[in-house]
């Protein structure tokens, strides 16, 4: 069974950085394109970005609010997806989920709080 | 960005009755590869979303056949037949045809 487990969330000051990880199991990670989706407290779902599989070029795409501040990467040898977040703003406070492809499988999420 | 508009915002339903949620997109969701990437998700309070339907009408593994998706182009519907207590929560549609991928605002289903 496919499973995703996020980690790395926490409390960070505005302007700070954080790196989230997503450990994958139960499917062929190296062939999967992966995404990050976030949900601010009491709000709806918002795509953050995605990374294609290396056989398809490994390219990344980002939503406008995080373009230039967030970076998605992957380590296929470790079956792990990453989200590097820099220049964090209070508006980035949310639960961050990793997901496979078009969100067929989701992790449990990790909370990121940006506050002074 | 493609705007996804769901209605209604809130949907009180009686156990055993059916419920329908509408999702309209700002432009056609037919991809150049011929597929229509319209998905439906269910999120219970405090839980991660779960995909129910992909590509308009395909049920994910383990999803009861009480859930069905239909539609084309810009107009889509999720129908829940014989609503059960476990169906409460928020339902989201999502388009995967155009980047950035976008979600509808959600429909809250509750039991009357």
pLDDT tens sequence across A31-81? 999 999 999 999 999 999 999 999 989 999 999 999 999 999 999 999 999
Q: Does A2 touch chain B (CB under 8 A)?
A: no
What phi and psi values does residue A96 have, to the nearest 5 degrees?
Answer: -105, 125
Mean pLDDT of B106-112: 96
Question: What pLDDT score was predicted for residue B104?
Answer: 98
What 3-state DSSP class applies to B32? coil
Beta carbons of B37 and A108 less than 8 Å apart = no
Provide the 10 A C-beta neighbour count for residue A52: 15
Q: Looking up tokens 């977040």, which residue turns up? A: A85
Query: How far, in Å, CA of A53 to CA of A80, rounded?
Result: 12
**Which chain B residue lies closest to A35 (C-alpha atoms)?**
B101
Percent of chain B with pLDDT over 70: 100
Chain mean position to CA A42: 19
pLDDT at B57: 97
Going by C-alpha positions, the residue among B46, B17, B51 that lies closest to residue A108 is B46
CA atoms within 13 A on the CB side of B98: 13
Contacting residues of A for B102, CB less than 8 Å apart = 47
Q: Which of residues 55-84 of B touch A (CB under 8 A)?
A: 60
Higher pLDDT: B29 or A55? It is B29
Structure confidence at residue A102 (pLDDT): 84
On the question of pLDDT at B29 being above 90, the answer is yes
Q: How far is A63 from chain B (nearest CA, A)?
A: 6
pLDDT at B64 over 90: yes
The tokens for B36 are 């229509």
Per-residue confidence at A103, pLDDT binned at 50, 70, 90?
confident
Whether B55 shows a pLDDT value over 90: the answer reads yes
Average pLDDT over residues B12-34: 97
Q: Determine the Cα angle at A55 with ends A52 and A60, to 5°.
A: 20
CA distance A94 to chain B (A): 13
* Per-residue exposure over B87-96, b if at least 16 CB sit within 10 Å of its own CB, e if not: bebbbbbbbb
Mean pLDDT across B90-98: 97
């Amino acid at each position: 069974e496919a499973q995703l487990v996020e980690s790395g969330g926490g409390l960070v000051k505005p302007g700070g950085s954080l790196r989230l990880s997503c450990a994958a199991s139960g499917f062929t990670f190296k062939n999967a394109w992966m995404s990050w989706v976030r949900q601010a407290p009491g709000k709806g779902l918002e795509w953050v970005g995605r990374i294609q599989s290396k056989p398809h070029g490994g390219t990344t795409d980002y939503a406008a609010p995080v373009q230039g501040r967030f970076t998605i990467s992957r380590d296929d040898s470790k079956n792990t997806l990453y989200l590097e977040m820099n220049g964090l703003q209070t508006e980035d406070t949310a639960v961050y989920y990793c997901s496979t492809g078009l969100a067929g499988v989701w992790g449990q999420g990790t909370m990121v709080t940006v506050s002074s | 960005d493609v705007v996804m508009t769901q209605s209604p915002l809130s949907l009180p339903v009686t156990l055993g009755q059916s419920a329908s949620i509408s999702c309209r997109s700002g432009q056609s969701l037919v991809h150049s590869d011929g597929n229509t990437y319209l998905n439906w998700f269910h999120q219970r309070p405090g839980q991660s979303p779960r995909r129910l339907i992909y590509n308009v009408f395909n049920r994910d593994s383990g999803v009861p056949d009480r859930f069905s998706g239909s539609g084309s182009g810009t107009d889509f519907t999720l129908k829940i037949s014989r609503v059960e207590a476990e169906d409460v929560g928020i339902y989201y549609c999502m388009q995967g045809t155009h980047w950035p991928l976008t979600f509808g605002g959600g429909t809250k289903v509750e039991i009357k």
